[in-house]
Amino acid sequence: MDEVQAPIVPVIGAIIRSVPGTISLGQGVVHYGPPQAAIDAVGRALTVASTHEYQDGAGLPALIDRLAIKLRVENGIDVDNGVRVMVTAGANMAFMHAVLAITAPGDEIILNVPFYFNHEMAIQMADCTAVCVATDDRYQPRLDALRAAITDRTRAIVTVTPNNPSGAVFSEDALREINTLCRARGLYHIADEVYEYFTYGSARHVSSGGFAGAAPHTIAMYSLSKAYGFAGWRIGYMTYPEHLAAAMAKVQDTILVCPPVASQVAAIAALDVGRAYCEPHVRELASIRDIVFSQLSALAPLASVPAADGAFYALLKVDTDQDPMAIAERLIREHKVAVIPGPAFGMTDGCYFRVAYGALQKETVAEGIGRLVEGLRQILS
């Protein structure tokens, strides 16, 4: 455990708390809350005795049924065709479940860089090795590099799209190629699709689990935290091959027993409201995204940021040899704006920062980006 990186968001959060008035462009959350229907459903559930009792380990049957409809209609995944669904306490737990179910100590899992830091942490906690493979200059996967990274100990390739931390949306061709590679080499394709609803312009999310022949080797993870403003309710879910059912049941029972019942009741109500709930918020985020990229472009040539068509992140590369963590701390203490340094995401070949713009209103984001731009100019001068 000593070798696992400290979770960077709480580390940055502790510094933020010491500097009142700091605008955080750090944590990846949305600024809106759950649908009213979900809140009302929980209120009613609190008077029902079964809400306070243990329930089915995989999730409430009513929620599993509702998720099956969503997965079939929106993701092209047929849960009656060799695929199981399990409700988890967030997608982080789903990833931990997957790692424990498919690996033995010493195995390897391939991560595209930049990666989501909790994925690397989970792999290390399972006494496995994260094999990091660089993406291209637009943060798209490189199939040849992934193929070259496979060894006899490789168990899976992980994709995160729309991507945290870069905001890149992986192309359908790239995802198909990775899924086909995994099938051919006897690997699992672990697909993190938490930000599936957050795409902009002509970009569209494609679910790897929906490809023909994907069911026996694809594990996909989803969450209500972002789309439905549910971060604190801790509700995610995953799909996985039928042959992993026994292993998954062991992990779930040991770590969680069963998903929180009140949160599941809220999830059913939210899914009944559906994707239409988050679509106005995504349109608002699109306008905020325009402000972010417009202001960040003013940093050229001191910094650059590739276009990002998904999630609510920008990955800023700064032209300096200074330590990213030292700069991040100076930005908070001297300029009252917080971002997340790139090494947490495996970006160690330069100075990078993840800029998150989902948690704040448009005016606050504009102020925060303004502080970031001015702060970097002063620090780098």
Q: Give domain limits for the chain.
A: 8-28+278-380, 37-273
Query: What sign has the CA pseudo-torsion 11, 223, 84, 40?
Result: positive
pLDDT the model gives residue 336: 97
**Residue numbers of the chain with a pLDDT score lower than 70:** none
Here the tokens at position 127 are 């006494």
Query: Which tokens is 142 given?
Result: 């490189």
Question: Tokens standing for 321?
Answer: 């040899």
Q: Specify the pLDDT at position 362.
A: 86
As a residue count, the chain comes to 381
Instruction: Output b/e per residue, 245-268; b: 16+ Cβ within 10 A.
Output: eeebeebbeeebebbbbbbbbbbb
Supply the DSSP string of 62-86, one letter for each residue.
HHHHHHHHHIIIII---TTSSEEEE
Sequence-ordered strand ranges (E) for the chain: 23-24, 83-88, 108-113, 129-134, 154-160, 188-192, 218-223, 236-241, 303-304, 313-318, 337-338, 340-341, 351-356
The answer to whether the CB of 340 falls within 8 A of the CB of 353 is yes
Identify the DSSP state of 7: P
Determine the 3-state secondary structure of 279 from DSSP.
helix
Specify the DSSP class assigned to residue 311.
T
Measured CA to CA, the distance from residue 81 to residue 83 in angstroms comes to 6
pLDDT given for residue 123 in this prediction: 98
Contact 71, 79 (CB under 8 A): yes
pLDDT at 247: 98
Q: How many CB atoms lie within 10 A of CB 89?
A: 18
Helices (H), 194-323: 245-255, 261-273, 279-297
Closest by CA to 366, choosing from 305, 293, 258, 259, is 293
Residue pair 123/106 in contact (Cβ under 8 Å)? The answer is: no
Phi then psi for 242, rounded to 5 degrees?
-55, -35
The residue to which tokens 């957050």 are assigned: 198
Q: Is the peptide bond before 301 cis (omega within 30 degrees of 0)?
A: yes
Q: Mapping DSSP to helix (H, G, I), strand (E, B) and coil, where does residue 153 land? A: coil
Neighbour order of strands in the sheet with 108-113? 83-88, 236-241, 218-223, 188-192, 154-160, 108-113, 129-134
> What is the per-residue pLDDT for 280?
95
The CATH superfamily holding the domain 8-28+278-380 is: Aspartate Aminotransferase, domain 1 (3.90.1150.10)
Assigned CATH class of 37-273: alpha beta
* CA separation for the pair 318, 324 (Å, rounded): 9
Q: Give me the amino acid identity at 195.
A: Y
- The answer to whether residues 206 and 196 touch, using CB atoms and an 8 Å cutoff, is no
pLDDT at res. 28: 87
User: Can you say how many angstroms the Cα of residue 368 is from the centroid of all Cα atoms in its chain?
Assistant: 23
Closest CA to 332 of 295, 359, 372: 372
Task: Note the pLDDT of residue 307.
Answer: 84
pLDDT of res. 214: 98
